A and B are shown apart, each in its own frame.
Chain A
Amino acid sequence: GAVVSQHPSWVICKSGTSVKIECRSLDFQATTMFWYRQFPKQSLMLMATSNEGSKATYEQGVEKDKFLINHASLTLSTLTVTSAHPEDSSFYICSAEQGSGNTIYFGEGSWLTVV
């Protein structure tokens, strides 16, 4: 199947700093990508929809100024967690939609730990 890659796989950052996570579709172009967050023993929660060339749309309750999303090309979306706090520590996962039939593939996920 199609490949979606995230980088970094894990990152540790200090409180108050910002961290960027990249999501790439390696073998297809994706006009739409999605960002999820998952806390331990919970299901995935959709955070936002990333649209190439336009602003992201955020789910209710997700702070757009804290979770900055940029989708500058058809193969790359980035999520920047600004002024990170320990409660932002989580597993962040992206997905990308491929073509007709709407098959959606997920990245491997990125573990963020804020200390």
Chain B
Amino acid sequence: DAKTTQPTSMDCAEGRAANLPCNHSTISGNEYVYWYRQIHSQGPQYIIHGLKNNETNEMASLIITEDRKSSTLILPHATLRDTAVYYCLNTDSWGKLQFGAGTQVVVTP
């Protein structure tokens, strides 16, 4: 079972920053937080992952709270192509990614 909770859906205006929250209060000390997104009828696309420190790459930024119980994925300038289901995950005790329902993000013009 997924160990993270996310809002079911979120709307975002094109060109604005999209901030996607995730709660992972049961995360263990050595488990990473991963973010993926899935555009309809495609395999999940890797976005970013982190352990303790904030991370940034060409796609997004990941902000992890100091207690590691929650994180926020930031898409700095949302485009229409960013419309997708966004999944926040961490691995289970066997190192496997278990998916929850994710957040359906709709970017509107």
State the majority secondary structure of interface residues on A. strand
Are B44 and A106 in touch, CB under 8 angstroms?
A: yes
Does B68 touch A at the CB level, under 8 Å?
no
Are B101 and A46 in touch, CB under 8 angstroms?
A: no
* Chain B interface residue count, Cβ-Cβ cutoff 8 angstroms: 22
Are B97 and A46 in touch, CB under 8 angstroms?
A: yes
- Residues from chain A with a CB closer than 8 A to the CB of B36 are 106
Question: How many contacting A-B pairs (Cβ < 8 A)?
Answer: 52
Does A45 touch B at the CB level, under 8 Å?
yes
State the majority secondary structure of interface residues on B. loop
Return the contact of B43 from the options A1, A49, A93 (Cβ within 8 A). A93
- Residues from chain B with a CB closer than 8 A to the CB of A93 are 43-44
Are A102 and B101 in touch, CB under 8 angstroms?
A: no
* B49 nearest CB neighbor, chain A only: A103
- Residues from chain B with a CB closer than 8 A to the CB of A102 are 32, 49, 91, 95
The contact string, 1 if C-beta is below 8 Å from chain B, for chain A 98-109, is 000111111111
Are B46 and A109 in touch, CB under 8 angstroms?
A: no
- Residues from chain A with a CB closer than 8 A to the CB of B99 are 36, 43-46
The contact string, 1 if C-beta is below 8 Å from chain A, for chain B 14-48, is 00000000000000000010101010011111100
Given contacts A1-B46, A43-B102, contact A104 B97 (CB under 8 A): yes
- B→A interface (CB under 8 Å): 32, 34, 36, 38, 41-46, 49, 87, 91, 94-102
- A→B interface (CB under 8 Å): 1, 4, 6, 32, 34, 36, 43-46, 49, 91, 93, 95, 97, 101-109, 111
